[in-house]
A and B are shown apart, each in its own frame.
Chain A
Amino acid sequence: MTGTANLRELLTRNMRTSGIYIAFVAIVALFAFLTGGTLLSPGNVTNIVLQYSYILILAIGMVMVIIAGHIDLSVGSVVAVTGAISAVLVIKNGMPWWVGILAALGAGVLIGAWQGFWVAFVGIPAFITTLAGMLLFRGLTLLVLNNISLSPFPAEYQKIAGGFQNGLFGGPGYDVFTLVVFAVAVAGYAFAAYRTRRARIAYEQPVEAMPLFILKLVAVAAVVMWFAWQLANARGLPNVLIILAVLVMAYTLVTTRTVFGRHVYAIGGNLAAAMLSGVKVRWVNFGVMLNMGILASVAGVVYSSRSNGAQPAAGNMFELDAIAACFIGGAAVTGGVGRVTGAIVGGLIMAIMSNGMQLMGVDQSVQAVVKGLVLLLAVAFDVYNKRRAGAR
């Protein structure tokens, strides 16, 4: 085996990616302590998942937009308008719940294509296009809703974000099904990690030492199973967590393993070089914006389901939370750098902070101040790291 990396090397080699996990653990520990353990109680862990899932879904799309060197300020308005379209069809016109979902997703495709057209083919900077979209889709939300809130959704629709999978295997006071699903997931993760490791060894690439590798797996398994245990002791496996997990896995693969994902990084890293390497820059930009529209509509469905209706002001400021999640998660302002998992952890840091401060009864105003400072510090840390690395 060649070049085995040890723990210290693993941590220091890339502070940009490992720093975020350390920060996450520190923030969880801090708020668990400050709330006297309430933060990590089964009910609250479930609550965090339900309450912030739509921000995380937005962050997945947003990180790709940011990697490509753009930004999307319209996602909050898109969440509102897609939720409103769904609500009008289902609540006002009595259509079945799935028609609402399909219509919302369809609207997301159209919105994504609309913004993609202006960004990719006309060449309007995404900042301007989506700033216009922010106003445009907010206005359309008000038009569609006639300026009044709609509620409630039928029970099936509410289950998208509020429902749970549980009781399938029964269980003595906790849900066995949830535990089984998570156990299978952990086993799958371990298997995939092992296969990757074998392949890397076969190609004579450096890997971490065996004990370290096992330690990492055990740590991941422990955290995940503890999380499952908390869920199982509350209400079981939330539907929205399944949606989120599928999206995270799918988009991690898309960004790291596909040609499209590679081209997104190439465009953000050096636009001219990507163009001269045969990357169809316009179509990739179009795809990135289209994808953001679709994910924003997924978030729109989840949010309308969770809030059990549509409001004219829905999704306000969501874009800022999603963008903050990406930058806290290590994405670079200049493009070319960022990871889906990073954005998710960044989003979770925001979620834990909000939730923790709510539990402590901290005033809204103070919460905003703290979140703003954390975003600033996270990017300052990133800038510092880059400067240190580029000190030559």
Chain B
Amino acid sequence: MGHEAQETDAPAFVDFKEVQSTEQFQELRKRHRSFVFPMAIAFLLWYFAYVLLADYAVGFMSTKVWGNINIGLILGLLQFVSTFAITGWYVSYSNRKLDPIAAEIRHEIEGHEFDKHGNRVSGEAK
């Protein structure tokens, strides 16, 4: 299986603890978490608020707004809208704030990678 040799597995001699403690990595971690955690909490709260309303505020949800369209249907459709919006927002955030810094760290590590014998190899030559 000739091509299996090209697959990179765990780069054996990277000091991950050192990488983890670099300012650059800490910044990446902070940027990632400061986006995904609040966002996850926000959409889960909005979703459960909706479920609770549908469950315990049937009268409110059944209020007709336009023709046969009631508040429940509108809020349900808004769940679709918010899902699409958060998806788009996250993609643009990752492209701008996460990918460049992740690529930089990756390049740095893979550029200083060592093979099993301790010889330095570049990312491309592996």
Query: Do the two chains bind?
Result: no
Interface residues of B (CB under 8 A from A): none
Interface residues of A (CB under 8 A from B): none
